[in-house]
Structure 1
Amino acid sequence: MDWRAIKFDWNRARAFLVTAEEGSLSAAARALGMAQPTLGRQVEALQEELGVVLFERTGRGLELTPSGLDLLDHVRSMGEAAGRLSLGASGRALALEGTIAITASEIDAAYLLPPIVEKLRSTASGLTIDLIAKNTASDLRRREADIAIRNFRPDQPELIARKINDVTARLYVSDRYLERFGKPLTVHNVAEADFISLWEPDTYLAGLVQAGLEIDRTNFTVLTDSHLVHWEMLKAGAGIGIVPEFLGETTSGITRALDGAYQAFTFPLWLTTHRELNTSRRVRMVFDFLADELGRT
């Protein structure tokens, strides 16, 4: 290979790739953790090095030019190769120190993991835990996290997963709401009750109707896509919501709603990591530690 023929900076190629995938300089700068002007200069410099225009400005922001589209697949292959290199190096790390990125839902990150992380740090003080709380799945193949705690089994062949247990969730309501409702809450008057929607309202409603509750869209008086907001609204007395048992059963002022009138909701709990990262001593140790601790919950 004639290395002298490569006349561009690979970091600038990364700037081009992330900008193309994120759709704007501002989003790409956030993804890379750098200032937008710096990223913009890298993209401009790459265009000068290659002698082509990669983006053109439109009313909606940036759009790839035909030349940019032609080059995108090549740069994407470079990005995937860089990811494999990083995974391979991380997978061979032996020290029980460094940063481990763990991603989990907001509820699990805020209420299930803190004592586990504290115990983990006591066991391996050289580790730094980067806890990513989000309700969408991080891409482990692109190193958005090292380990994921999920409620579904991944189907990508590059990932390995272990089912830890099943999490039971039920309908809960605050004492404050029951006082406002003014009468015992039963299946016969549930159509008069307020519910807090989580995720996409129609999907949430379908699950409740399938469970046997005779309610409709008008029962949803609060809508949110945040698990934490859902929980705080429930505690504040805004309505009825679905909460994991480990949270609902241990919080003062919160009781089960319509107990016995429906079948409890069950979600699997999976621990997932990249297959190559499984050869890392520190990732293996954290993975096994989480599996043991979460298995006790």
Structure 2
Amino acid sequence: MPVIQKRMAQARPMTMDWDDLKVVLAIVRNGTLSAAARALGTTQSTVSRRLDALERRLSVKLFDREAGGLRLTALGQSLIEGLEQMDAGALSVQRQVAARDTGLSGEILVTSLDWLGDEVIAPMLARFGAMHPGLVIELVNDTKVFNLARREADLAFRFGSFTQENLIERRIGEVAYALYASEGYLERHGQPDVTNGFCGHLLVLLDRAAGAVPHEAWLPVLAHRARTALHANGLRAHLAAVRSGAAIGVLPCFLAEGDASLRRVVVSHPMPVRAVRVGLHSDMRDTPRIRALVDFVAREFAQLEQQLNPQS
């Protein structure tokens, strides 16, 4: 090769695969190779192999391998801000592409929580999907807070407000709670009496690690003489305990009213209501399929609330 061509070849800029750079970001964000692999949906060996290949190709060391895991080198640390900016730019492009006006067709990834997603949101999404065959709707119920800016989900239905930047939230409906007991429990223990603090009655409550929760905050006042039979961290466990006749408990009306074995225990204290909110990234707000789904779910909630008013 002539000298000038050799020098030109040597001067060519080095190309880098964005997928390999995403591996670096995943390791930084998740702390370990195994956690990065889970975030990327691949294996630890694949992440390790791609990192080694990238460092060999660049002839630099981005991480120091230590007994406790990986630690960024000074060079690696200096690159992170630029990689974060590249990632944010790529995600912005992805959101803009995803938000293009495709009518009521395309994919919608939805996330929600436990019983709310399974019992309330899932039937609504199924009805909406049946109406629009061009849509592919996927629901993932998880306690994990999905990053909507990174398109880990398009919509998130949750209790409480959203704190991520550039998100829009909308109050989509309400979940009403009331006190319930089984017929068998009431036959054995009688109706709870507020005037004596529910003396002689048994409760199922959320686990103590949950702290004060809005829908149970009134119980220590009204039922101060009741005994707690069980602390459990899931609403399905509460429902099962109440259904078995072992205790009374505060349950979502959405779950309890459809169970013929349960009876609402009427007390003078107004029962709590929790707001359900939907969050979405601002780039997706005008996407027809997203807007149509949010409006549909809001109408469905309004209908359910009329049917399940706990004060009726």
Sort the TM-score into its range (normalised by shorter chain).
0.7 to 0.9
Q: For residue 127 of structure 2, give the secondary structure of its aligned residue in structure 1.
A: helix
2:77 to 69, 78, 87: 69
Alpha-carbon shift at residue 64 of structure 1 (Å)? 3.0
Separation in structure 2 between the aligned mates of residue 64 and residue 295 of structure 1, nearest angstrom: 51
Q: Which residue of 2 aligns with 1:194?
A: 203
Runs of 5+ consecutive residues of structure 2 not aligned to the other structure: 1-10, 305-312
Q: Which residue of 1 aligns with 2:301?
A: 294
TM-score, normalised with respect to structure 1: 0.84
Separation in structure 2 between the aligned mates of residue 247 and residue 92 of structure 1, nearest angstrom: 37
Alpha-carbon shift at residue 232 of structure 1 (Å)? 3.6
Alpha-carbon shift at residue 95 of structure 1 (Å)? 4.3
Q: Is the 8 A contact 2:109 2:155 kept in 1?
A: yes
- Structure 1 stretch displaced more, 97-106 or 47-56: 47-56
Q: Which residue of 2 aligns with 1:96?
A: 104
Separation in structure 2 between the aligned mates of residue 220 and residue 63 of structure 1, nearest angstrom: 48
Alpha-carbon shift at residue 131 of structure 1 (Å)? 0.3
Q: For residue 212 of structure 2, give the secondary structure of its aligned residue in structure 1.
A: helix
Q: Does 1:284 align with 2:263?
A: no
Alpha-carbon shift at residue 129 of structure 1 (Å)? 1.2
Q: Is the 8 A contact 1:26 1:36 kept in 2?
A: yes
Q: Does 1:130 align with 2:128?
A: no
Distance 1:172 1:199, change over 3 A: farther
Task: Point out the structure with max Rg over C-alpha.
Answer: 2
Alpha-carbon shift at residue 119 of structure 1 (Å)? 1.6
Q: Is the 8 A contact 1:158 1:274 kept in 2?
A: yes
Q: Is the 8 A contact 1:211 1:263 kept in 2?
A: no
Q: For residue 172 of structure 1, give the secondary structure of its aligned residue in structure 2.
A: strand
Alpha-carbon shift at residue 15 of structure 1 (Å)? 0.9
Q: Does 1:267 align with 2:274?
A: yes
Separation in structure 2 between the aligned mates of residue 50 and residue 220 of structure 1, nearest angstrom: 62
Distance 1:93 1:38, change over 3 A: farther
1:143 to 151, 159, 162: 151
Q: Is the 8 A contact 1:197 1:241 kept in 2?
A: no
Q: Which residue of 1 aligns with 2:310?
A: none
Q: Is the 8 A contact 1:201 1:223 kept in 2?
A: no
Q: Which residue of 1 aligns with 2:28?
A: 20
Identical positions, percent: 28
Give 1:151-162 correspondences, 5 Å limit.
Answer: 151-154=159-162, 156=164, 158-162=166-170
TM-score, normalised with respect to structure 2: 0.80
